[in-house]
Amino acid sequence: MRRFTPGNRITLLRNGTEYFPALEHAIAAAQRDIYLECYIFAADVTGLRIADALQAAAGRGVAVHVMVDGWGAKNFLSPYLIDALKTGGVHFAKYRPSVAPWHFRTRRLRRLHRKLVCIDDTVAFVGGINIIDDMNTPGHTPPRLDFAVRVEGPVAGAVVQTMKHLWALIQFARMKDVGDDLFPPPPHSPRAGDQTAKLVIRDNLRYRREIEQAYLTAIHNARSEILIANAYFLPGVRFRRALVDAAERGVKVTLLLQGRVEYVLLHYASRALYGQLLAAGVEIQEHHKSFLHAKVAVIDRRWATVGSSNIDPFSLLMSREANIVVRNAGFADELRNAVRHIMASGGKRLVPGDWRNRSTVHKAAVWAAYGFVRFIMGVLGYGAEDRLHTGE
């Protein structure tokens, strides 16, 4: 696991209204190279703005590299936009182009889910925001609630290193630009502030458990408060036990979760875990006002994380993910206040008694969904003891 590094300046960005202007400004200032990774790159108003900025950078001689997930972007990124990017001088790649529906294999779920940008080895962006208009997403009430950070300092160098490694790896596998360094050294990124932070990633080789372990370590060490906002919440037994243990030793544990139905199966499966958590004293709030896409946490008002990783099997066990972990009271308080504002404006607290007394039909749907997800995870080889047992 990487170590915490001092000397960073990390700026919290709330939703696309703050993220995209900051990203466009950084792209416009680029002089040497740009790397951008995302799960979704939509051909909507926002996507076209970012694409124009990337093409303009390429036009003035900046080496621009864009990588999208082959599965996540397939229904959003039009062939026209891909052609425009390539014609404009942008190096474009897809991570794991979609596997055919009848190929039921584990690797089809190993997606590029992280959202990263690095510019000139000095500025980076990390978070959960895709290149898509969060004020005009079909089927969702605006805005989509999410977070990202702008990073300057030594941690930006770690972002650069992991992005250049993945780009070189994909090109090597496809016999393109094989001269790229598969294991680039971290660039020198000078101190830019007084915040201590580190980049944590999840891949399918060296860093399989880094993000989950970062959460577990912070939860085990919590003394007063754990606040987690997460869009897709279906943790394994170790994670749930850590939350229950924290609540039982007097830590105030609050979960802000997505209340609206997006993926029906995951929505109902995750609710099979509510009873155990509520019985232990964990407070659960569901956000129904708009679409919650956040993947953040604050612990003891001094430890905070912002990133792409949900707390579910797909993020913690399969996808490539990236989070920033910050140890700074000022940043932690800023993020905590932002999450608390979301809760105050659109959260609905679950009452343990009401949850126990929900209808038989609802209970049956929840457990059927949960059982099916467990079955699928087992078929895919992810049914080991620390995955999806209820602990009840």
- Catalytic sites, residue numbers: 113, 115, 120, 293, 295, 300
E strand spans, the chain:
5-14, 33-38, 63-69, 91-95, 115-119, 123-127, 147-152, 195-202, 225-230, 252-258, 283-287, 295-299, 303-307, 321-327, 347-349
Please say whether the dihedral angle defined by the alpha carbons of residues 153, 50, 126 and 77, taken in this order, is positive or negative.
negative
Say which amino acid occupies 126. V
Check if the beta carbon of residue 210 is closer than 8 Å to that of residue 200: yes
DSSP string, 317-329: HTSBEEEEEEE-H
Residue 360: both structure tokens together: 């038989």
Distance from C-alpha of 114 to C-alpha of 36, rounded to nearest angstrom: 10
Residue 66: both structure tokens together: 């864009």
Distance from C-alpha of 294 to C-alpha of 134, rounded to nearest angstrom: 12
Q: Is 32 helix (H, G, I), strand (E, B) or coil?
A: coil
Q: Is 73 helix (H, G, I), strand (E, B) or coil?
A: coil
Cβ burial, residue 253 (10 Å; 0-12/13-18/19+): buried
